[in-house]
Amino acid sequence: MPRQKRPPVVMIHGAFCGPWSFERFAESFAAAGYKVHAPVLRHHDCGREPPARLGRVSLTDYADDLVELIDRLGETPVLVGHSMGGLLAQMLAAKGKARAIVLLAPSAPWGVWPSTLFEVASAQTLLFASGDYRGTLIQPSFQIAAAHSLDKLGAAERSRVYARFVPESGQATFEIMSWSFDMRRASYVRARDVTCPVLCMVGSDDKINPPATVSRIAQRYRGRAVFEEFDGHSHWLLGETGCERIAARALGWLDAALSSSAAKPASAGLS
């Protein structure tokens, strides 16, 4: 695809994180000629002591903030989202705010059932231990991050990355992990409204958003989605050893997807 035709890219970070999580991925995209925007989600730039109101922030609030940013760009971007950011990318795509979406270990939207006992147990443990945790701040846990998110990093790198983690919204966490109790259906994405190309990428060893669950996400979008599993990788796809190879694969897919969509009109009436 000609460089002058490349759309902007918006990289959406995951829970407990910030734009810094995309540092290595952003380098690869910038080197390929893309203008990269990596916004910080609401109150995620306040360190370990954010305002208490962060606990009440919904996924829909994060999405509304991102819609404002995208509208200011003046051009529909490509969205790259990690974990919770991957769910937000799906929500935005359903609003027509994406040329294509690259989902890295994405969280599932409302109605996609977990595929493993670990996912079920994680949600139940949080719910039973904290009760109705909507409106509270969820503090990061080194034990959980080290075992299930940053587990492929060396000890020094793991500590360095974790030191940048920040608290997350209890409301948004509830909407992801306990979606079946969320009567507002904040994380709902109507699959037929996502008409752009979709790339779902996941590590074979990811327990947080495992391959079988991410495959279910891809299946929702039928012929618009490509599913790819990366052997030996875990949840921190965007920063593990070999993440440059994953970024290169995303760039190759993106060039092909954008070229294909530019060559033919958007399909109507997709289900």
Domain assignment present for residue 207? The answer is yes
SS3 state of residue 8: coil
Domain assignment present for residue 268? The answer is no
Which tokens go with 171?
């409301």
In what helix (H) or strand (E) does residue 170 lie, and over which residues does it extend? helix 170-177
Q: What percent of the chain has pLDDT over 90?
A: 90
35-73: pLDDT as tens digits: 999 999 999 999 999 999 999 999 999 999 999 999 999
Q: Compute the average pLDDT of residues 62-85.
A: 98
Domain assignment present for residue 270? The answer is no
Residue type, 254: L
Nearest CA among 64, 80, 97, 91 for reference residue 26: 80
pLDDT at 132: 86
Domain assignment present for residue 271? The answer is no
Which tokens go with 193?
């409204």
SS3 state of residue 217: helix
Domain assignment present for residue 111? The answer is yes
Domain assignment present for residue 181? The answer is yes
Domain assignment present for residue 70? The answer is yes
Q: Is the pTM of this model over 0.85?
A: yes
Residue 65 exposure: Cα atoms within 13 Å on the Cβ side: 15
CATH of the domain at 45: 3.40.50.1820
Long-range contacts of 245-249 (CB under 8 A, 24+ apart): 246/104, 246/201, 247/24, 247/25, 247/28, 247/29, 248/28, 249/201
235-257: pLDDT as tens digits: 999 999 999 999 999 999 999 99
Question: What's the mean pLDDT when you consider all of the chain?
Answer: 94
pLDDT band of 171, cuts 50, 70, 90: very high
Q: How many domains does the chain have?
A: 1
Tokens 């493993």 found at: 116
Domain assignment present for residue 269? The answer is no
The residues near 264 (Cβ < 8 Å, ≥ 6 apart) are: none
Nearest CA among 237, 166, 169 for reference residue 203: 237
What is the extent of the structural domain holding 101?
A: 3-263
